[in-house]
């Protein structure tokens, strides 16, 4: 039995997080906060609150970005400026790397062009900023952005930001696959020939 933690905003909470435990199966114990982990600083604070429940996890998979990369005030400024986002995300990374054997970051997913608060150009820019820094630290990158961007009309639902049922299915499969592949590298599960995770950069 290998313990895994899933952390993330509603893309995880009401999306892939509902399906991943079933895909991983009986060989895995999965903890994920009931809470929406929201923006990076909220997630950073949550690592204190969730530490006991996360204890024993060997793999942590997390996503964090949509709340940060939004213009909800209508003033043209994103909720979290680049510098603050980088600082908070690197602090999250350092805490997770200190406590757990393997850390996986899922890139922030795109939104529909009809979304009035988020722009994919900003999402891509923030992904492009943080991914190289995470790779330098040895964090594994799960590129959900590219997967969803391949067919936004299909994978994003009518609210313009959350995953559709097809989006949940494809993202959950990708998350489960990369966790399985990472667990195999830890020697925790039998080898599989069916893994299809879209992985960039650091070896797992």
Tokens 């530490």: give the residue.
51
Give per-residue pLDDT as tens, 10-28.
Answer: 999 999 999 999 999 999 9
| Residue 178 burial (CB count, 10 A) | 25
**Based on the structure, what is the number of domains in the chain?**
1
CB crowding 126-155: b at 16 or more within 10 Å, else e: bbeebbeebeeeebbbbbbbebbbeebeeb
- For the CA atoms of 35, 45, 97, 186, the dihedral, rounded to the nearest 10 degrees, stands at -20
- Name residues whose C-beta falls within 8 Å of residue 94's C-beta, 6 or more positions apart in sequence: 137
Segments forming the whole domain that contains residue 8: 2-200
Q: Where does 5-119 have alpha helices with state H?
A: 10-13, 20-24, 40-49, 51-54, 82-99
Average pLDDT over residues 175-181: 98
CB 58 within 8 A of CB 3: yes
Average pLDDT over residues 29-35: 97
- pTM confidence score: 0.92
Give per-residue pLDDT as tens, 143-170.
Answer: 999 999 999 999 999 999 999 999 999 9
pLDDT above 80 (res 202) = no
* Domain containing residue 185: CATH number: 3.40.50.1110
Q: What is the pLDDT of residue 191?
A: 43
CB 44 within 8 A of CB 195: no
| Residue 32 burial (CB count, 10 A) | 22
């Amino acid at each position: 039995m290998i313990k895994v933690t899933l952390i993330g905003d509603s893309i995880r909470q009401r999306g892939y997080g509902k399906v991943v435990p079933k895909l991983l199966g009986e060989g895995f114990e999965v903890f994920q906060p009931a809470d929406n982990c929201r923006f990076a600083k909220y997630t950073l604070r949550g690592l204190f609150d969730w530490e006991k429940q996360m204890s024993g996890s060997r793999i942590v998979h997390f996503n964090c970005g949509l709340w940060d990369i939004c213009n909800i005030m209508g003033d043209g400024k994103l909720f979290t400026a680049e510098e603050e986002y980088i600082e908070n995300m690197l602090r999250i990374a350092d805490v997770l790397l200190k406590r757990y054997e393997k850390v996986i970051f899922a890139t922030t997913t795109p939104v529909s062009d009809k979304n009035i608060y988020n722009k994919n150009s900003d999402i891509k820019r923030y992904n492009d900023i943080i991914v190289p820094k995470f790779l330098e630290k040895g964090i594994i990158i799960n590129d959900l952005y590219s997967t969803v961007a391949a067919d936004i009309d299909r994978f994003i639902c009518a609210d313009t930001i959350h995953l559709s049922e097809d989006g949940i299915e494809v993202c959950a499969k990708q998350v489960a696959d990369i966790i399985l592949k990472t667990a195999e590298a830890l020697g925790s599960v039998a080898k599989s020939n069916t893994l299809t995770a879209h992985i960039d950069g650091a070896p797992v």
